[in-house]
Structure 1
Amino acid sequence: MTDVIVAALRGALATGSFARLRSFYAPEPVLESYVTGHRETTVGVDAIERSWARIAPGPGVETYFSVDVHPGGYDIDVQRTVRPTGRPERYLHRIGVVDGRVSRHIVYPSLPREPVRLLPEPVAKSLVAGSVGDLAHRGFSGATLMRARLASGEPVVIKHIRPGRDWLARASGDEGREGWLFVEGVYDRLPAQITTPVIDAVASDDGWVIVMRDVSGALDTVRHGDPVACGSVLLAAVAEMHRAFRDTRPSAVLCSPADRLRLFSPLRPLIERRGRDMLPKTLNTAWESFADGAGDAVADAVLRLVADPAPLLSALAAEAPATLLHGDYRPDNLGVEGGRVVALDWGLACHGPAELDFVWFLSNTAWAGDEARAALEAEWERVNGGHRAGLALDLAVIFHAVMGEVAFVMSEARHQPDGFPKPSAATVRWWLRRLEQAFERVGDLRGEG
């Protein structure tokens, strides 16, 4: 049935006609669309057919397609060129299937992929002629990834970053942070336990071209490993980096905690309203899930700090020294190679308290039971000399919530169909308990308590 439904969707996108899909929908199916910039829900086959004319108007020629099969359905990433305008259009379809029929169909917009461009001469001269090709990937930023080979025969990955095309870059004040960190020698100053695959960075007319060793094997070690067992190595390495750069700011291009805090602000959907990026379109739903499900006391405390984060930022700066932060330290960006951690994607590298890297890692690593989260917190304590976590970690947990990550976890748990990767109910309860405990120990950050 999966192959038939997928084929029907591809046919519908090719013709612009929902009729090919009608027979595969369950009675009273639900369509959730974020195409217009916010969540719109439609129920029933007839209503969905009317909505389809807005979601995928007109026929199109498919230029990219991938599908991931899950127990509850499948994720489909498809790009097409709409006729007759020639406009590229990319959507992500999450299709929930019950008893062989589509019960939920979620459609997200995404930034269209762009073809490989000409590389700057210094990079092109270092490569084997004709070896450059597109690298299929599931990323949603404005970057283009390519495979190539150096003159030595070594395989490399080339990343073309364009800050003006990437909403995260715009939000974090990034003008090519990954490239600048290479040019300024920051990567060379990393301690022995952690490294980056970047071997060259060259400015281009619209951003930077980053040349990296192909470390896909190292990444698989983490992605397919036990999160707690891998966490021991990963946390020890990043803790060494934090110690090496403690009380120093190695580069002026690092993101500030204030900018990082605003990445997933409730205002972000309005700021990015003209963009095609997926995540900003989902933030309204995330914040609504948090406000509805966190409990009045916790929700009010967090939302007050969303409106005015100055007390939180001041308390965090006073409680913990600043250091170099990776900024996006999570399993998808990490590998282990020869006993060293290889860290990708330094585009969100920050200058702030080490605890921010750890809480981000914790949120993106342990979506299962409380035991994994407790084990990782204990490991963080151990690699930091056995010192019990103080208010700095509590403030980092609050920072995490004010930034919107707890809201995102709650929204994913609540809105994603069954049978797809998502946080468990236990994960949501754990974060809400942890957040409540943090506020109890920190007190009222408005200075009134």
Structure 2
Amino acid sequence: MVWDGVGGGRLGWAELPDTVRESIEVALGSAVVDAASQPGGFSPGLAARLRLADGRRVFAKAGSATNSPHVVGFHRREAGIAGRLPAHVAAPRLLWSGGGDDWAALVFADVDGHPPPLPWRAADWTRVHDAVVRLARDLTPSPVELPPVGADPDSFSGWRSLAADPALATELDPWVSGNLDRLATLEAGWPAAAAGETLVHGDLRADNILLTADRVLFVDWPHAAVGAPWFDLLGMLPSVAMQGGPAPADVWRDSPLAAGADPDAVDSVLAAVAGFFLHSSLLPAPPGLPTLRRFQRLQGEPALDWLRSRLT
């Protein structure tokens, strides 16, 4: 079975508070007559395509600070980012955001598309890879002023956490225990290694991509930042391998995004990504996200294999 990235307990439209639903309908100027919940992703909130009484279709997502404060934080950050993305960015257009103190909600223009079918098909991956390359080129220099991708150096600190608790590392591949100090040192340099002038999405994977008849669009931008043009591709490749796509090293060898990348910088960022996934996979599951740790482990393993092949 290919892991499909479904991990959040979705809320239905009718489960939203009346005030939130009414705010959305007032903002759109039409009542919602049908709501179809969408699978994929790890947000334990609303993610639904809405049909309005006037015939329009939109996509809405929302979360409660009571049930999922981290999701509310992501939604509010995305509202501030999505509203500033230029029209040429391959992303759905934000129509409205709000929700009050306890809720955050966003409404986007509906996209007549679907995530890439899994396991990855060669033609779909070629199409998406080409779109990731275009995205990096279109967003260099960044058209939006945002913090650097390494603004929080501790956001990727998995190997250093494991070095402080080596007993936990014994649950991973034996190679890890013998190389913890090296991995921790590599990881520590990732903020400088990931620096650049490109607006990066920060969380590319299949469930954050929509394929239409003639376009590839990238959704869910709360993790956007400014960094190296190759950052998104590197971060995405472990999930592609996990979901039946090509091996990361094979993609990297031939990708134009990798051609100008400093190998030492790549090793540092890849170490940070692998450490994040594998250390996180050993932690208790967050409330409402029971499958997240398995999802992280299945990405961490190909990331580690790729990193080891580069270091040995």
The TM-score with structure 2 as length reference comes to 0.71
How do 1:155-304 and structure 2 match up within 5 A? 155-162=57-64, 166=68, 168=70, 174=74, 176-184=76-84, 186-190=85-89, 195-206=90-101, 207-215=103-111, 218-220=113-115, 222-224=116-118, 226-248=120-142, 250-252=144-146, 256-259=149-152, 262=155, 265=158, 289-290=171-172, 293-303=174-184
The SS at the match of 1:361 is: helix
Match of 1:346 in 2: 221
Q: Is the 8 A contact 2:202 2:223 kept in 1?
A: yes
Taking a change above 3 Å as real, the CA distance of residues 174 and 322 of structure 1, as seen in their structure-2 partners, is farther
* Deviation (angstroms), 1:397: 1.1
Rounded Cα–Cα distance in structure 1 between residues aligned with 2:63 and 2:298: 34
Match of 2:267 in 1: 394
Match of 2:288 in 1: none
Rounded Cα–Cα distance in structure 2 between residues aligned with 1:223 and 1:181: 28
Report how many aligned residue pairs link the two structures. 290
The SS at the match of 1:160 is: strand
Match of 1:362 in 2: 237
Rounded Cα–Cα distance in structure 2 between residues aligned with 1:162 and 1:236: 36
Q: Is the 8 A contact 2:45 2:62 kept in 1?
A: yes
The code of the aligned residue for 1:435 comes to: L
The SS at the match of 1:342 is: strand
* Deviation (angstroms), 1:187: 4.4
The SS at the match of 2:203 is: coil
Computing the radius of gyration from Cα coordinates, the structure with the larger value is 1
Q: Is the 8 A contact 2:277 2:297 kept in 1?
A: no
1:435 aligns with 2:307: yes
Taking a change above 3 Å as real, the CA distance of residues 439 and 165 of structure 1, as seen in their structure-2 partners, is farther
Match of 1:312 in 2: 190
The code of the aligned residue for 2:82 comes to: F
* Deviation (angstroms), 1:364: 0.5
Q: Which string of whole-angstrom CA distances, capped at 9 and with x for unpartnered residues, describes residues 173-213 of structure 1?
A: 757122112332x14241xxxx2223412222035422234
* Deviation (angstroms), 1:158: 1.2
Root-mean-square deviation over aligned CA pairs? 4.4
Rounded Cα–Cα distance in structure 2 between residues aligned with 1:342 and 1:178: 16
Q: Is the 8 A contact 1:179 1:202 kept in 2?
A: yes
Indicate the structure with greater strand content. Answer: 1
Unpaired stretches in structure 1, ≥5 consecutive residues:
1-69, 72-76, 78-91, 93-109, 269-283, 412-419, 441-449
* Deviation (angstroms), 1:160: 1.4
Taking a change above 3 Å as real, the CA distance of residues 233 and 122 of structure 1, as seen in their structure-2 partners, is same
Taking a change above 3 Å as real, the CA distance of residues 369 and 350 of structure 1, as seen in their structure-2 partners, is same
| Residue from 387, 390, 405 that aligns with 2:277 | 405
* Deviation (angstroms), 1:337: 1.3
1:337 aligns with 2:212: yes
Rounded Cα–Cα distance in structure 2 between residues aligned with 1:168 and 1:350: 18
Q: Which string of whole-angstrom CA distances, capped at 9 and with x for unpartnered residues, describes residues 77-114 of structure 1?
A: 9xxxxxxxxxxxxxx9xxxxxxxxxxxxxxxxx87958
* Deviation (angstroms), 1:393: 2.4
The TM-score with structure 1 as length reference comes to 0.52
* Deviation (angstroms), 1:166: 4.1
Unpaired stretches in structure 2, ≥5 consecutive residues:
284-293
